[in-house]
Amino acid sequence: MKLKLKIWRQKSVEMEGSLVDYQLADVSPDSSFLEMLDLLNEQMISEGEEPVAFDHDCREGICGTCSLTINGIPHGPQKATTTCQLHMRHFRDGETIVIEPFRARPFPVISDLIVDRAAFDGIVQIGGFITARTGSAPDGNAIPISKGVADKSMDAAACIGCGACVAACKNASAMLFVGAKVAHLNLLPQGAAEKDRRVLSMVSQMDRAGFGNCTNFGECSAVCPKEIPLDVIAKMNRDYATASLKNIFSQVG
């Protein structure tokens, strides 16, 4: 395959970036999208140019590192597929492909296609956990959990933290990411003790980090490579409302 590529090049966070045109030939339709970029980079190195920097690691769709916006869609055109699992057979010979970083104010560009998603870690650090000191756990079967609840919790826990949901949202909302973590932990009996604290602190940190509000378009779930359902946002909103009310009454009471 032959391809025309328009790739976002940006030297560093302080500098301006722009789309640069590249031509690439002899791309195997069986190669992955990132292997296509590997080929481009090898070509650029042999010409003494600086290769395109992009984030990637496991290349099997689970680590959540890869993060490209392809023709305007985070992770590209194939449903439920991360960039690293997207293969070139889904593109046409001679096609022009626009490749940009995940764009969102809370995800500043570090270089070329690499963005800083540390804001996600910050939200988890403030409440995305169950306090369970090592060594203090009761037997694993001490608290039975019905299969339905465990399955639902697992559906939410499947989030890979890639940030496509934020990049797809015109408000740069992180509600799907935060909702998934809140739902995963708040659904479980082990997470009940910190349920209110968790949702209140995570939501306020999400706001502080500059993520926007949800306006129910559902773009986040549509691009999510793990198909996290919008229900998790509803669950988070319910838990948030309950926790806030409890707070008000405890202050009054």
Partner 1 sequence: MNLDAKIPEGPLAEKWDNHKFRIKLVNPANRRKYRVIVVGSGLAGGSAAATLGELGYNVECFCYQDSPRRAHSIAAQGGINASKNYQNDGDSAYRLFYDTIKGGDYRSREANVYRLAQLSGNIIDQCVAQGVPFAREYGGLLANRSFGGAQVSRTFYARGQTGQQLLLGAYSALSRQIGLGQVKMHNRHEMLDLVLVDGHAKGIVTRNLVNGRIESWSADAVILATGGYSNVFFLSTNAAGCNVTAAFRAYKQGAGFANPCYTQIHPTCIPQAGDHQSKLTLMSESLRNDGRVWVPKKAEDCGKDPRKIAENERDYYLERKYPSFGNLAPRDISSRSAKEACDDGRGVGPGGRGVYLDFTDAISRLGRSTIEERYGNLFEMYERITGENAYERPMRIYPALHYTMGGLWVDYNLQSTIPGCFVLGEANYSDHGANRLGASALMQGLADGYFIIPYTIANYLAEAGAGAPSTEAREFKETESRVEEKLGLLLGINGKRSARSFHMELGKIVWEHCGMGRNAAGLQKALELIPDLKEEFWSNLKVTGKDEELNIELERAGRVADFLEFGELLVRDALDRDESCGGHFREEHQTEEGEAIRNDEKFTNVSVWEYQGEKAPPVKHKEELKFENVSLSVRSYK
Q: By CB under 8 A, name the one of 19, 77, 129, 208 that touches partner 1.
A: 129
Region binding partner 1 by CB under 8 A among candidate stretches 14-22, 152-160, 168-176, 206-214: 152-160
- CB-CB contact of 64 with 162 (8 Å): yes
Q: Does 241 bind partner 1 (CB under 8 A)?
A: no
Q: Does 128 bind partner 1 (CB under 8 A)?
A: yes
Q: Pick the closer one to partner 1 by CB: 2 or 170.
A: 2
Sign of the Cα torsion 148, 149, 151, 156 reads positive
Q: Does 231 bind partner 1 (CB under 8 A)?
A: no
Cβ of residue 123: shortest distance to partner 1, in angstroms?
Answer: 9
What Rg, from alpha-carbon coordinates, does the chain have?
Answer: 21
Q: Does 93 bind partner 1 (CB under 8 A)?
A: no
Helix (H) and strand (E) counts in the chain: 8, 7
Q: Does 16 bind partner 1 (CB under 8 A)?
A: no
Interaction residues for partner 1, span 95-114 (CB under 8 A):
110-111, 114
How many Cα atoms within 13 Å fall on the side-chain side of residue 74? 26
Element (H, E) at 147: helix 147-157
- Among 200, 207, 152, residue whose Cα is nearest residue 180: 152
- Among 186, 166, 174, 169, residue whose Cα is nearest residue 243: 186
- CB-CB contact of 176 with 220 (8 Å): yes
Q: What angle do CA 154, 207, 166 make, to 5 degrees?
A: 55
Region binding partner 1 by CB under 8 A among candidate stretches 16-24, 97-105, 138-146, 208-216: 138-146
CA dist 63 → 82, 90, 194, 206 (Å) = 10, 23, 27, 22
Q: By CB under 8 A, name the one of 33, 55, 75, 230 that touches partner 1.
A: 55
Q: Does 10 bind partner 1 (CB under 8 A)?
A: no
Cβ of residue 104: shortest distance to partner 1, in angstroms?
Answer: 15
* Block residue for tokens 């797809």: 168
Q: By CB under 8 A, name the one of 16, 18, 94, 147 that touches partner 1.
A: 147
Q: Pick the closer one to partner 1 by CB: 107 or 214.
A: 107
Q: By CB under 8 A, name the one of 3, 5, 34, 172 that touches partner 1.
A: 34
Q: Does 184 bind partner 1 (CB under 8 A)?
A: yes
Cβ of residue 193: shortest distance to partner 1, in angstroms?
Answer: 11
Q: By CB under 8 A, name the one of 5, 7, 8, 32 that touches partner 1.
A: 32
* Block residue for tokens 């590249």: 22
